[in-house]
Amino acid sequence: MSYHSWLSLNKMTGNMLSVVPRLRRIQLISPRIQMSRLKFTTTIGNQPQGAGDDTRAWGPPFVGQESAYFISVNRNKKSMAVNLKDPRGARIITELAEVCDVLVENYLPGKLSKMGLSYQDLATVAPRLIYCSISGYGQTGPQSHKPGYDSIASAISGMMHITGPENGDPVRPGVAMTDLATGLYAHGAILAALLQRQKTGKGVHIDCNLLSSQVACLTHIASNYLNTKKEAKRWGTAHESIVPYQGFKTSDGFLVVAAGNDQQFVKVCKVLSLDNLADDPKYKTNTLRVQHREELLQALSKRFSEDTTDEWIRRFDGTGVPVGPINNIQQVFSDPQVSHNGLILEMEHPTSGTIQVPGPAVRFSNFEFDRPLPPPVIGQHTVQVLRDTLGYNDDVIHELLKLKTIEQHEVQL
C-alpha cells in the first residue's frame, strides 16, 4: 500500500517528517493524530536547549530517562531538532513541506507567520500541501490568542460540568479526552482533505481546536439544552435519559448494567429474580423508569449488592443485556480480549530498554501493522532526514550543526 508523508511542527519538540502537528500548549493531540498513521512522522520544533516536548518531563513514573506519558503516544516517529527562529531553520521546514503531503502544527495562531511558515507562505511553494493547525480556541475569534490545555478546554466546554458524582464537584476526566477527541477530529479531516486533493489537486488549510472538538462532543447534552434550555447536571455513572444504565455496587466490586430498551429491562429483572419490577406499570417503559428512577434504582442496588461481580456476569451471560465490571488498570491488561486485540505493544527503546505501550484500536483485513518503532530521542533523526529526504551534503549539515540551527542527538542502538 502507499503512504503519505507527514510533517509535524511542535514548538516544544523538534521537527516531524510524516504529516501531523502539535501546538505549544497542546501536548497530546498531535501525537495521537500521528500515531493513528501507519508509517512515520518526523517531528520538528523550536525547543529550549535539550528540553523537548513538555510531556517528556511529565512524571513520575519514568521509564529510564523518558516519561511513561511521552512514550505512550509517540511511537513510529522521527525527531529533528531545528531552530525555527533561525531563517535557515525555517527554510528547512519549507523544503520539507515541499516534499510532504501533510503538515500539522500547534503553535499559537500567528506565531508561524512571523517565521514565514504560515499556510499562505507554504502554499505558494507547496500548493498541494494539507496544512492542519491545532489550537486551543481556533485560528480566529476573541479567544484565539490564548494558549490551551486539555483541562482548560474541558472546563470551558462544559465537559467538567457534566462529569463527576451526582451531588459532588466537577471532575476532570481520567484521561485527556479533549486532546484525544481533537486529534481524532483532525485525523479525519486530514484524510478527507487528502481524498479531496485527489480530485482537485489542491491542498487546504484545516482549523481544528480543542474548544470546538469538545463542544461538538457534547452531542445529546448540547441538544438537550439547545432545544429545551434545560441545564445539564452530573450523573456519576448513570444516564440522564436511560434507566437502568449505570454502575451498581456488588458484594466485591462494581458492575455496569446498560438496559437500552424495554426488552432488556425485562431481562435484567429476570436475572435478578425481580420479575415484579418488570410487571409494575411504573416501569413498563423507559420514560416511566426515568420518572421513577429513585425507587427503581434502590431496589436494583439492593439486589446487586447481594452477590459478587463475577457471579452477576455469569448470570447475565447469554441474555443479550450488556454488562461489564469496572476494572482497574491491572485487570484491563489481564483481560484475554485486550491481549487478543493486540492492545499491548512491546518495543526496544534506545535509552529506556524494553517498553510496553497501548496498541492501535483498529485492525485491517488485508495487512498487519509493521513492527512499531520506539518513541524517538530529541533530535535523533535530524541528520538522517536532512541527508536522506532533502539531499543535504555533509558539509552543509556540519555548518548547520555548528551554527546551532539544528541539533543531532546520538543514541546507542
Instruction: Please identify every residue annotated as catalytic.
Output: 179
The rounded distance, in Å, linking the Cα atoms of 399 and 302 is 74
CB 209 within 8 A of CB 58: no
Q: Is 215 helix (H, G, I), strand (E, B) or coil?
A: helix
H helices within 161-274, ranges in order? 177-200, 210-216, 219-228, 262-271
In our burial notation (b when 16+ CB lie closer than 10 A, e otherwise), range 215-231 reads bebbeebeebeeeeeee
Q: Which of 20, 4, 376 is nearest to 183 (CA)?
A: 20
The rounded distance, in Å, linking the Cα atoms of 175 and 164 is 14
Q: How far is CA 259 from CA 241, 243, 263, in A?
A: 11, 7, 8
Residue 54 DSSP class: G
Amino acid type, 313? I
The rounded distance, in Å, linking the Cα atoms of 17 and 369 is 19
Q: HSE on the CB side for 177, CA within 13 Å?
A: 16
End-to-end CA distance of the chain: 29
All three cell numbers of 302: 439492593
The rounded distance, in Å, linking the Cα atoms of 148 and 84 is 21
